[in-house]
Amino acid sequence: MMFRDKVVAEYKKIQDDICEGLTIADGKGRFEEEIWTRAGGGGGRTRVIQHGNVIEKGGVNFSAVHGKLPEAVKKAFKVDSEDFFATGVSIVIHPSNPFVPIIHMNIRYFEMDEQTRWFGGGIDLTPHYVIDTDARYFHHYLKNICDEYDASFYPKFKRQADDYFFIKHREETRGVGGIFYDRLKPDHTGLDWDQIFNFSCAVGNSFLPIYTELIDRNRNTEFTEVEQEWQYQRRSRYAEFNLVYDSGTKFGLETNGRIESILMSLPPMAKWTYNHKPAENSLEAATLTKLIKGVDWV
């Protein structure tokens, strides 16, 4: 089996396992699947869950595409070749309860030839209300995974997540970060290709235990209309980041990806209230003080 085929098979299994686990955790919602093909080559499986007990809208997508890279992408990647292959799993979950956080995960493999290939990905948490114990649990879990492969991974990838998931025009982080890595390959790590692949799968398989725990902690928390309005405000910031800065969104649009799958990450409802400012000493104001780079959650 070719290396890329092994990656595809395992990524499909991760998608299957996560969809099954989220269906059980939600208790009501069911995933709808669309199989799609890309005109330039390849395709994927888009799975969306809506109107559940916990999940208002969520997507767990798998894709494996190939073809010719557009000039803009070649310049961004600093490569000369045209032929590419890319596969990945991408997840965004928007819960209905403001005390259950938004979560995003992506694992991906990109290949042009034997010399030009790499893994990328990450997982990050965007609470509408930052709950310190949840943020610490999340980061400890990720650190333990990273430490199994390389003790330098967590501090490096955590810093990269802080830098990447930063809304420059708001001067705030999208949430409490997580880990983010790109162009991961043997000459950068001391690991071989199989070990890096195993790390990618470990990140993918971390999603379900992490998020089901956070759902169980917060799903029954009562909330007010004011707190739901704050949730809509925070969702607007999430949308701003994905439309302005997210590299996956840009890559999908520039390679003629499936638009519904690319924009699956956007929330079902968001609000842009003019010059919105939270009340002094409120939970909302406290959350804003923690949307900064460099918070040590472990």
Q: What is the DSSP string of 206-256?
A: HHHHHHHHHHHHHTT----HHHHHHHHHHHHHHHHHHHHT-HHHHHHHHTT
Which of 55-59, 69-73, 293-297 is predicted least confidently? 69-73
Question: Between these two residues, 8 and 38, which has the higher pLDDT value?
Answer: 8
Cα dihedral angle (87, 109, 101, 140), rounded to 10 degrees?
A: 150
Q: Which of helix, strand or coil describes residue 165?
A: coil
User: Does residue 35 have a pLDDT over 90?
Assistant: yes
Task: Give the Cβ contact number of residue 275 at 10 Å.
Answer: 4
Residues 6+ apart with CB under 8 A from 44: 35, 36, 38, 61, 62, 63, 64, 65, 258, 261
Q: Which residues does residue 107 pair with via DSSP β-bridges, in sequence order?
A: 89, 121
User: With 80 as the cut, is the pLDDT of residue 39 above it?
Assistant: yes
CA atoms within 13 A on the CB side of 68: 4
Confirm whether 104 is a catalytic residue. yes
Each residue's pLDDT tens digit, 97-143:
999 999 999 999 999 887 889 999 999 999 999 999 999 999 999 99
Domains and CATH numbers, the chain: 3-289 (3.40.1500.10)
Q: For position 188, what pLDDT does the model report?
A: 75
For residue 200 the two structure tokens come to 């990618």
CA nearest neighbour of 96 among 128, 64, 56, 60: 56
* Residue 48 or 76, more confident: 48
Cα–Cα distance for residue pair 256/258, rounded to 1 Å: 7
Over its C-alpha atoms, the chain yields an Rg (Å, rounded) of 19
Q: Say whether pLDDT at 254 is over 90.
A: no
Question: Burial of 258 by CB count in 10 Å (0-12 exposed, 13-18 middle, 19+ buried)?
Answer: buried
**Contact (CB, 8 A) for 97 and 21:** no
How many beta carbons lie within 10 A of that of residue 204, not counting itself? Answer: 24
> Which structure tokens are listed for 173?
């982080």
pLDDT digits (tens, 9 = 90+) for 65-103: 999 887 777 777 777 778 899 999 999 999 999 999 999
What is the rounded distance in angstroms from the CA atom of residue 250 to the CA atom of residue 262?
A: 9
228 by Cβ neighbours in 10 Å (0-12 / 13-18 / 19+) ranks as middle
Per annotation, catalytic residue among 94, 104, 128, 139: 104
Distance separating alpha carbons of residues 58 and 36, to the nearest angstrom: 18
pLDDT (0 to 100) of residue 1: 63
**According to the model, what pLDDT value does residue 74 have?**
75
pTM above threshold 0.85: yes
